[in-house]
Amino acid sequence: MNYNFRVQVLVAALVLPMSVLTAYAVSDGAPERLASVESFASIPDEATRSAAIFTEFGKVLTHPRCMNCHPTSDRPRQGDARRLHQPPVWRGADGYGLPAMRCPICHTKANFDPAGVPGNPIWHLAPLEMGWQDRTLGQICEQIKDPARNGGRSLEALIEHIREEPLVSWAWAPGYGRQPAPGTQHQAGDLIEAWVKTGAVCPN
């Protein structure tokens, strides 16, 4: 009896939080599309066109799949409602969490669909200076092209990051029950490249 009780408590402790958490992860709604670079050709003024292209790209940047890892605090967010991460975790010195709660303890090399836990070999939080949460798209735009706040990247490196970075790729393959970022990674790469070629003008 004592043993059974303990087993029950153990099962409840392990299973309950997981099921509560994964229940939140399921989202509906059709995946959003991205407009093609060509569809901006009718805007004659190049600066206006550049800002319009960035605004379209902003659908990706401000999507919860990207935003949840780019907070302006020390805690990641979860789900489409971008609620604070449960269980509570903090960025720690290197973005991989405090010593007792490292991201890879739960976030393994790949998505673990049975428990709804996303995964990637380098799963960790973007540095604080790369936080976007609660900022306007214009502010985010200025920030991501500023080498002092974007990890010392040139505009070319920024294009490459959007086209190839594994954590960016994850946003289009986020695992069961999670809505992917809009469009495709390829389209997002084309948009940011077109934005750079038209002078990298920020909206507003």
Binding site for ligand HEC (CB under 6 A): 21-22, 24-25, 60-61, 64-66, 68-70, 76, 78-79, 85, 87, 89, 91, 95, 97, 101, 103, 105-107, 116-118, 123-127, 130, 144, 150-151, 158, 161-162, 167-168, 170-171, 178, 181
- Minimum distance of ligand HEC from residue 111's CB (angstroms): 10
| In contact, 67 and 179? CB cutoff 8 Å | no
How many alpha carbons fall within 13 Å on the CB side of residue 70? 23
Q: Smaller CB distance to ligand HEC: residue 52 or 116? A: 116
Q: Which is nearer to ligand HEC, 43 or 85 (CB)?
A: 85
Nearest CA to 126 among 140, 112, 105? 140
Q: Cα(166)–Cα(118) distance, rounded to whole angstroms?
A: 13
d(C-alpha 92, C-alpha 47), whole Å: 40
Nearer residue to ligand HEC within complex by CB, 21 or 110:
21
Angle (CA) 183 202 84, round 5°: 60
CB of 91 to ligand HEC, least distance (A): 6
The pair of three-digit structure tokens given for residue 66, joined into one six-digit string: 């990207």
Q: Residue 157 corresponds to which tokens in the numbers above?
A: 């490196």
**CB 38 to ligand HEC: min, Å:** 21
Q: Please report how close the Cβ of residue 29 comes to ligand HEC at its closest, in angstroms.
A: 14
Residue 76 CB, nearest approach to ligand HEC (Å):
4
Q: How many CB atoms lie within 10 A of CB 64?
A: 19
Pick the closer one to ligand HEC by CB: 40 or 170.
170
Instruction: Please say whether the beta carbons of 35 and 59 come within 8 A.
Output: no
CB nearer to ligand HEC: give 49 or 91.
91
